[in-house]
Amino acid sequence: MMASRTRPPLVFYTHTLCPYATRVALALREKGLAFDLRHIDLANKPVWYAKEVNQKGLVPALQVVDDDLVVIESLDILKFVEEAFEGAALLPEQGKQREVALEVVNSVAAKVVSGGLRAVAGGDRLWGIGPNPNPAALGRELGALEEILAKSGGPYLCGPDVTLADLATYPFVERFEVALGIGGHSVRDLGSPLVWQWMQDMQARDSCRWAAADPTLLGEAYKKHGCLDFFDYTSYGVWDLHPHNKGLR
């Protein structure tokens, strides 16, 4: 929970291992907003959650308590956070950079996610980790990010400042790097040096350090369960794979 407090208060319903929820966690932290973090065990969902918060029973969800408002779907929440609250700007105000940021959020990020899932699964179950990963499936999509970074001049997708484009994409690339590493592969080897440097720059941000699972522990969990969405089926506590955050709420 952040130190300062905003009004209206926010309740962030999450599972700390879900990359879709991590998008929102990063946005809240980058925006400098206060929030109450409520970890939802997706393998043992509380009955009240579907009744009172999100009928789909999924995370993330962001509740604006005083307005009796709940926003669901990670990209919708990102846009809502940027439009509804003051704080660090997470979208360029206008021009080509804004167009690029929205294109990444609305289209490119989804292609990166799809390519990464295919790469890790190697043709098997969509969210599975297959014995024969196909890194090239991700490399093709990272090529689009490489071009965007080349045009923006970096270090981020839209230039010198982090935006929703980075926050929508990074949590997935971060996890694909860990999962591909099980088979001895790395994003670094996919011919996208600017993307690799972007990953290092994102990893160094306070928000990303706070939200990141320990890569060794995450890799062990991937090996044990054989899938990227293991937390949907197996109970994990709020900071089980985030030892640097143990005791935080």
CB atoms within 10 A of CB 232: 16
What lies within 8 Å, CB to CB, of 54 at 6+ separation is: 13, 61, 70, 72
Give the sign of the dihedral formed by CA 85, CA 161, CA 195, CA 217: negative
| b/e burial code for range 205-226 (CB count within 10 A of at least 16 → b) | bebbeebbbbeeebbebbeebb
CB atoms within 10 A of CB 106: 13
Judge whether 214 lies within some domain.
yes
CATH of the domain at 195: 1.20.1050.10
- What pLDDT sits at residue 248? 67
Q: Indicate the number of domains in the chain.
A: 1
- What pLDDT sits at residue 249? 56
pLDDT in tens, 11-61: 999 999 999 999 999 999 999 999 999 999 999 999 999 999 999 999 999
pLDDT in tens, 149-177: 999 999 999 999 999 999 999 999 999 99
Judge whether 156 lies within some domain.
yes
Rounded to whole angstroms, the Cα distance separating 12 from 206 reads: 19
SS3 string, 189-234, reads HCCCHHHHHHHHHHHCCHHHHHHCCCHHHHHHHHHHHCECCHHHCC
Judge whether 122 lies within some domain.
yes
Judge whether 78 lies within some domain.
no
| b/e burial code for range 19-45 (CB count within 10 A of at least 16 → b) | bbbbbbbbbbbbbebebebbbbebeee
Judge whether 231 lies within some domain.
no
Judge whether 186 lies within some domain.
yes
Residue 37: φ, ψ to 5°: -90, 125
Rounded to whole angstroms, the Cα distance separating 90 from 160 reads: 12
Judge whether 29 lies within some domain.
no
pLDDT in tens, 94-140: 789 999 999 999 999 999 999 999 999 997 678 999 999 999 999 99
Cβ atoms 152, 159 nearer than 8 A: yes
Instruction: Measure the CA angle with vertex 18, ends 109 and 244; round to 5°.
Output: 115
Rounded to whole angstroms, the Cα distance separating 146 from 131 reads: 28
Task: Give, as one character, the DSSP assignment of residue 59.
Answer: S
- What pLDDT sits at residue 68? 86
Q: Which of 135, 112, 230 has the alpha carbon at shortest distance from 191?
A: 135
Helix runs in 62-126, H state only: 74-84, 95-103, 109-121
pTM above 0.85, yes or no: yes
Residue 135: give the domain boundaries: 95-225
- What pLDDT sits at residue 4? 40
Judge whether 72 lies within some domain.
no
